[in-house]
Structure formats: structure tokens, C-alpha cells
Amino acid sequence: MIDVIVVGAGPTGMMLAGELRLQGVRVVVLDRDPAPTPVVRALGLHARSLEVLAQRGLVDRFLALGSRHPLGGYFAGIAKPQPTGLDTTYPFVLGLPQPVTERLLTEHAVALGAEIRRDTELVGLTQDEHAVTAELADGSTLAARYLVGCDGGRSTVRSLLGIGFPGEPSRADTLLGEMRLTATSDTVSAVNTEVRRTQLRFGAAPIGDGFYRVVVPADEVAEDRTVPPTFDEFRSRLIATAGTDLGAHTPRWLSRFGDATRLAEDYRRGRVLLAGDAAHIHPPLGGQGLNLGIQDAVNLGWKLAAEVNGWAPAGLLDSYAAERRPVAADVLDNTRAQMTLVSLDPGAQAVRRVLSELMDFEGVTRHLIEKIIATAIRYDLGDGHDLLGRRLPDIDLAQGSLYDRLHAGRALLLDPAGALSVTGWADRVDHLVDGTVDLPAALIRPDGHVAWVGDGRHDLAQALTRWFGEPRA
């Protein structure tokens, strides 16, 4: 029997497949499309996503193919300088088309042994206390111990489970596409500058090979967003918004997206779980969606692997939803706020002006930017040291760096004084003694978050048992 079926071969699904394979879990990824989509729905990786890629030794592959952009103006397009001294090795947005991100994550997962079955559509599922059975469109079935729906905002898995997806429907659609423009680059830049003084849902940016990625507000909300706009519709909206179609021609693809905001009522039903857009959708402001999904996968991967491998303590798998659902709710809130702030309504513009004044205080801008880049997340692991529940940045060690020690997806006891031990848990937790580190002893989970801080062996044993199960002889 397969250990885990992942439905959806996008960035969330492929990150999860790689995380599971690091722990020896047999993974099969199903995707209904015959080939990866060329559509560039997301263009950026934020600091926390780059950190988790660094934790797995992958980040250099992404940095080599992307372009670095400052974080100023990333909250609702309010132009303020980037806060200084952000506590991360990656204080920038890495511009990288989603298909490239997806390809790199797929190569990683496949190299670790994940199996991908394309042109394979899930149409039904059943489960009992031992397994999940996936029913496929060709009439065959596939059984696994667990199944994870990473199949997007219109998730088949979520629908089959009957999990509610409350929130607000789309109130404003946006057209998105790639096409050539006959207008000069200076003209495109001037039009961008002028239109974006009032309309932040407009933009045309070069993406190579003579093509531009063009975004423009739609005229109305589409009844069926799966139907792409016509090129004539796209050109007419450019003219209505910018006064020119910029000489648009030769569209490579056209799409539309809305600003619907929804959060799944549950992230788990029995042996079936949700991650990424299957669990939450929101407006794209701040470029948080793809990043949120990748980070879901890193939180879930080691916990689900612990269940499969038989050492998970009680409640570990349920901590995935307990930790990640509030993070998604916060992203929904900040994108709702940003959508209000880019509205042309006079009241919304008044709020925007007030917030812009407040953002002259660097502490306010820092707080909002850290929401976007997800470095300020603190999981509720109870009372204790300020580091508890937070992620550690990639600190220097006597040899290498902290994230170098997390490549295998194992937990790590960072022990500056050399007074502690992981005896009984050494098959799940690494032990590093490094007196150069100016930190207290800390137990770091495979996702990079701190599960325990202290100096007492008894307290450490309790934390090890809570997160990594019973000790073994």
C-alpha cells in the first residue's frame, strides 16, 4: 500500500512530496493535467519560503534563477522604504515565475523518489480507520494510508469531504495574461507610472523573449472564472483603464482571477488533509498565496511522516491545523485590508492616507512587512521563552550555518554548553554542541520552529516526548 497520496502537483504538493520522501515515506502525486501549466499566477518567493528552502539545501537553485527586489511598497502598494535590519538572510522578494518554482520543487521531489502520475483525475474517495481509497476518472482505484488535497481553490478533495469553505465571493475580477507589446519600454513605463497613481490593479512588466505580463481590472465579475477572457476583452479593458492597449498582440495565454476570500472549516477529516489553496484562498496582494502553501507543506510534512513511520505522539498531526489555520486566517485578514486600501472609494482612500502617515514610523512598516514575508509567525506552544514557537534565522555556527544542519528534515537540539543529550531520540533528533552560539539551548523542529528553550534535562525529556514520541532503547 502507498503511504501517502498527494492530489495536486503544484508548488504545495511538490514541496510536501519532497518533505515526505526525506522521511522515507512512499508518495504518489496525482494531477489531472497532462503537463505542468505555463501560466504564471505567482511571481515571488518571500523570506520565510526562501528560509525553508535553505533548510533543505535548495535555496541556491532558486536564487540562481530569480531576481531580487526590495520589499518597499509591498503592503497595499504604499510606497515606503524597506525597513532596515530585517532578521533574515533574505531581506528581499525573489522574482521567479511560478512554473520555475514548480519545476525546481518537482525535480527535488522526484530525485528523492516521489512518483508523479499526470493526466490522472481524482473523482471520488472513501476511507476507513486503516486507509483511504482514491477513485480515479479511468475507473481504477488507489489505496493509501493518508491522502492530502493540494488541488487548489476549487479543490475536489475538499468538495468530496464536504468541508465547508466559508468566506466572501469575488467582488472584483482582474485579467492576467502574457503578450507582446509594440509600445516602447519607455512608453510602457510611463503608462505604468501614471495609471498606478490611482489603479494598483494595473501593470505591464517584461518577462523575457519580448513578452510582457499584463494585469488589468476586469469590467465585471465573471460567473465562470474557468473561462478565460478573449483577447478583444483584454484589449478593451486596457484602453478603458490606461487609454491605450500599448499595441498588445500575440497573446501567449490569458486568464482571470478574483478576490474571493475563504478558509476551510477543517484541515483534516480522518485520514485526509488539506494544504495550500485547497484550505484557503485570498486576494493576491502581497504575493502571499504560493508562499503560504509551501510553508503549509513544511509544517505538515514531518508530522504526517511521523504518523506513517509510527513514532508520532498523540495530537502531533492535529497540531498542523492548530498552527497553520490561524496563520492563514491572518493572511486573509491582511489581504482583505489591502483590498480595501487599493479601492478607489473615498472612504478607503482616506484610510489609506492615514495608514501611509503611520507607516512613516518604521516600526509600523516593519510589522506589516513581517506579516507579508512570514518571519514574525509564532506558533502557540504555551508560555515560556520569547523564542518558543518562533523560527530561528540562519545563524552562523563554528562550522557552516544552522540551516545546513536541517537539510535531512530532522529535528535538532542546539546545545551551546554541551550539557544535554538526545539519548532515546537519536533516531529522530540530531544533537549539536556549539559553544560559539549566543543562544540558550533550543530544540528545533524539522520545520525550523523552536519547540523548547532551557537548560533542564527533565524539561527537555518532556519536550522531546511531546514532539517526537517515546524514547527508544
3-state secondary structure of 199: coil
CATH 3.30.70.2450 residue ranges for the chain: 174-257
Average pLDDT, integer, range 237-249: 96
DSSP 8-state code for residue 266: -
Q: Which CATH architecture has domain 402-468?
A: 3-Layer(aba) Sandwich (3.40)
pLDDT band at 30, cuts 50/70/90? Answer: very high
- Asked if residues 155 and 51 have their Cβ atoms less than 8 Å apart, the reply is no
Q: Kindly list the distances between the CA atom of residue 227 and the CA atoms of 10, 179, 346, in Å, as whole numbers in the listed order.
A: 20, 18, 33
- Asked if residues 212 and 181 have their Cβ atoms less than 8 Å apart, the reply is yes
pLDDT at 71: 92
CATH 3.50.50.60 residue ranges for the chain: 2-167+262-373
What is the strand order of the sheet 280-281 is part of? 167-168, 261-263, 280-281
Beta bridge partners of 431: 413
Q: At what angle do helices 318-341 and 346-358 cross, to 10 degrees?
A: 110
CATH 3.40.30.120 residue ranges for the chain: 402-468
Pairwise CA distance, residues 270 & 133, whole Å: 13
| pLDDT above 80 for 226 | no
DSSP 8-state code for residue 312: P
pLDDT at 11: 97
Pairing of strands 141-149, 132-136: antiparallel
Average pLDDT, integer, range 372-388: 95
Question: Residue 107: which residues within 8 A CB-CB, separation 6 or more?
Answer: none
Pairwise CA distance, residues 433 & 172, whole Å: 54
% of the chain residues with pLDDT over 70: 100
pLDDT at 38: 80
Closest CA to 148 of 164, 130, 134: 134
Closest CA to 373 of 69, 66, 57, 22: 69
pLDDT band at 323, cuts 50/70/90? Answer: very high
**Amino acid in the structure at residue 422:** V
| pLDDT above 80 for 457 | no
Pairwise CA distance, residues 462 & 284, whole Å: 41
pLDDT band at 43, cuts 50/70/90? Answer: confident
Classified by CATH at the fold level, domain 174-257 comes out as Alpha-Beta Plaits (3.30.70)
Pairwise CA distance, residues 35 & 238, whole Å: 31
Can you read off the three cell numbers belonging to residue 419?
A: 550539557
Which of these ranges, 89-93, 136-140, 216-220, has the smallest mean pLDDT? 216-220
| pLDDT above 80 for 163 | yes
Classified by CATH at the fold level, domain 2-167+262-373 comes out as FAD/NAD(P)-binding domain (3.50.50)
Which of these ranges, 124-133, 216-225, 254-263, has the smallest mean pLDDT? 216-225
DSSP 8-state code for residue 230: P
Pairwise CA distance, residues 167 & 335, whole Å: 13
